[in-house]
A = this chain, B = another copy of it.
Amino acid sequence: MTQMTEALKGNITPEMETVAKFEEIDVNKILRGVANGTIVIPKNVNRNTDVRGIGTGLTTKVNANIGSSTKIEDLDLEVNKAKLAVEYGADAVMDLSTGPKLNEFRKAILDAVDIPIGTVPIYEAGAHTLNANKEIIDMDPDLIFKVIESQAKEGVDFMTLHCGITKELVPKIQSQKRKMGIVSRGGTFLASWILHNDMENPLYENYDYLLELALEYDITLSLGDGLRPGCLSDASDIPQIQELVNLGGLVKRAQKVGVQTMVEGPGHVPLNQIKSNMELEKTLCHGAPFYVLGPITTDLAPGYDHITSAIGGAIAASNGADFLCYVTPAEHLSLPSLEDVKEGVIAAKIAAEAADVALGNEKALKREEEMADARRKFDWDKQFELAFDKSKPRVYKDKCEIEDKEMCAMCGEFCAVKIAKNDF
């Protein structure tokens, strides 16, 4: 059984109840959303998690990517990143480990936190291939499915699978002459494999088998955007949109058999193209939840891509994106530190909240009103309690000791709220 097969039968699951309670909306709306594929509840049958719903009508959710690289491999650090991401409000964590001990990392992360965990199984297949001194283009297709099955057994809740890069698409990528080529690791692996073996993408060719595995463990498919743009001028080009068209067809096949499915999206996108990208996904992909990475809206700010993507994420989520993958200040440069993870999660939470307010989400509006009330009353403790970061604002406030509770060091006696409060 999957959440979706149950929903299609009209059965309300405990997970749907949990989501309804969290969102403060009627459980029948969750039921209908899961049934028609506009909501997913990632939860592997082999894992107990604090579930979250992702999709239309729900608050925007945030994912934090963590995990080792071939250059930095520190288990405690990655586990602590997962815990920190949860502490600051991440709704899901993806373990993107690619270092030699990646299996150990995944297991430790699955144990460490109780929110949905996602992976990109082709990284493990790629790592096994590289570790055996072979090249990516020599990767055994069977290995990919073995990895998917073993990770499913372990309890991975959602998986990024780049099923939409087809053999037909490869020459189109080449003739497009993109500035940045392919910037998705999974996308590169598969496109190179297809090119050099002159064979179809195994994840596309054996999609029915993939659906069987997903049905067995209720893995939520996160159909990867292997051809997402890697710079602003590559955005919304033929390869990107053709892959999205392909994904739309695959969503339909998954939804038909009751496999929960979401779709991944860009990437680097100029601000004025974000809305149409969101609308296109919703129409082409039958309303499947859209999970976006960024979008990054300028490439001129390495070291600050949590901000370039908070701008894109807010616009995306207010136009249909349901799930924001955080981007940290370390993006394009290194693995994030603990501080970077915190900054990344908070920036994504800000984007999600700004979008939820714009969409009129009642939970979001209530929080905003509570903050305004606390500000008006100079109730600093309440302000800090409501803040995404409960300690940083207190540090600012306490830098300068002021006896009068009704001001801060920014305006002092010139505080407008203080002066106006009796009259206005």
A residues at B contact (CB < 8 Å): 69-72, 98, 123, 126, 130, 136, 173-174, 178-185, 187-189, 191-192, 195, 230-234, 270-272, 297-304, 306-308, 310-312, 314-315, 318, 329-335, 346-347, 349-351, 353-355, 357-359, 365, 367-369, 371-373, 375-376, 383-384, 386-389, 392-393, 395-397, 399-400, 402, 407-417, 419-421, 423-424
Contact = CB atoms under 8 A, between A and B. Distances in A.
From A183, A303, A329, name the one whose CB has the most chain B CB atoms within 10 angstroms.
Answer: A303
Contacts of A388: 300-301, 304
A231 B386 CA distance: 14
A181 B409 contact: no
- Top 3 A-B residue pairs of the complex, sorted by shortest distance between their CB atoms: A70-B412, A231-B372, A303-B392
A180 B299 contact: no
B410 A334 contact: yes
A191 B333 contact: no
A65 B166 CA distance: 53
A366 to B, nearest CB: 11
Nearest to A68: B412
Nearest to A367: B300
Contacts of A71: 400, 402, 407, 409, 412
A373 B383 CA distance: 45
A376 B189 CA distance: 18
Contacts of A187: 416
A229 B37 CA distance: 39
Contact of A69 (B178, B307, B414): B414
B179 A373 contact: yes
Contact of A420 (B191, B329, B373, B395): B191
Give the secondary structure class of A's interface: helix
A353 B270 CA distance: 10
B417 A354 contact: no
From A298, A306, A419, name the one whose CB has the most chain B CB atoms within 10 angstroms.
Answer: A298
25 contacts: A69-B409, A71-B409, A72-B412, A98-B411, A98-B414, A174-B423, A179-B372, A180-B376, A182-B416, A183-B420, A192-B423, A230-B372, A270-B354, A272-B358, A299-B371, A301-B346, A301-B388, A303-B393, A304-B389, A304-B392, A306-B307, A332-B375, A332-B393, A333-B397, A334-B400
Contacts of A303: 387, 389, 392-393, 395-396
Contacts of A191: 420, 423-424
A332 B408 contact: yes
A27 to B, nearest CB: 27
A192 B419 CA distance: 8
Given A357-B232, A373-B179, A387-B302, A408 B315 contact: no
Contact of A408 (B333, B346, B386): B333
A417 B234 CA distance: 14
Contacts of A178: 424
Given A180-B376, A411-B69, A297 B354 contact: yes
